[in-house]
Amino acid sequence: MKKVLLLLANGFETYEASVFIDVIGWNLIDGDGSTKLYTCGLQKEIKTSFGQKVIVDYLFNEIDIESFDALAIPGGFEEYGFYNDAFDNRFLDLIRAFSKQHKIIASVCVGALPIGKSGILKGKRGTTYKIGTKRQDTLRKFGVDVVNEPIVMDDKIITSWNPSTAADVALLLLELLTSKANVNHIRHIMGFQNADK
């Protein structure tokens, strides 16, 4: 079984997290059955961008990184305190530890910013929220070569620019964990228009 850890900061965006849950879950039930997702946070109860509460499976210090194959990080809203958790050293250390073991790290939107702040994207290509320049400028300050593309992958690190890319990021993560044929099957049964048959 390939395990994905969904790392949630307070103020995370529900949609960006839910696509990882759905894609990995659909694969578990109707795909090749090889993937399972678990949630993690700095606290047991995490609030979403719009105030809903989520109870995570693990606290950050309970994670055995060797038992996971990938890390997924949704973005979130500053107004709901996203960067308080996302820029916390414990959060950043978990990202660094996954990178040190050459695990896949996938993010959506400003989920790229803690990856950038952790230092693992320094000198590499990446992207983040592209409306206005504030978030891309922040990523650039972390030494990242910011690319104006919807999804950028460099050295097993996936970044993307807006919530609209979330499903494609989750599907790319699944492809890296399984196969293109399997992902095409999941795309088809989930009803994505451009799915290969």
18-68 pLDDT tens trace: 999 999 999 999 999 999 999 999 999 999 999 999 999 999 999 999 999
Report, in angstroms and rounded to the nearest whole number, the Rg of the chain calculated over CA atoms: 15
Q: Is the pLDDT of residue 196 over 60?
A: no
Question: Does domain 2-190 fall into CATH 3.40.50.880?
Answer: yes
Per-residue pLDDT reduced to its tens digit, 57-103: 999 999 999 999 999 999 999 999 999 999 999 999 999 999 999 99
pLDDT bin (cut points 50, 70, 90) of residue 117 is very high
pLDDT bin (cut points 50, 70, 90) of residue 197 is very low
pLDDT of residue 194: 60
CA distance 72 to 100: 16
> Could you state, in order of their start, the residue ranges of all structural domains in the chain?
2-190
Q: Is the pLDDT of residue 190 over 50?
A: yes
* Mean pLDDT of the region 159-170: 97
| 3-state secondary structure at position 39 | strand
Q: Pick the more confident residue, 165 or 195.
A: 165
Nearest CA-CA partner of 112 in 89, 93, 95, 88: 95
* Mean pLDDT of the region 117-140: 97
pLDDT bin (cut points 50, 70, 90) of residue 115 is very high
CA dihedral 40, 89, 62, 57 (to 10 degrees): -10
The position carrying tokens 């997290």 is 17
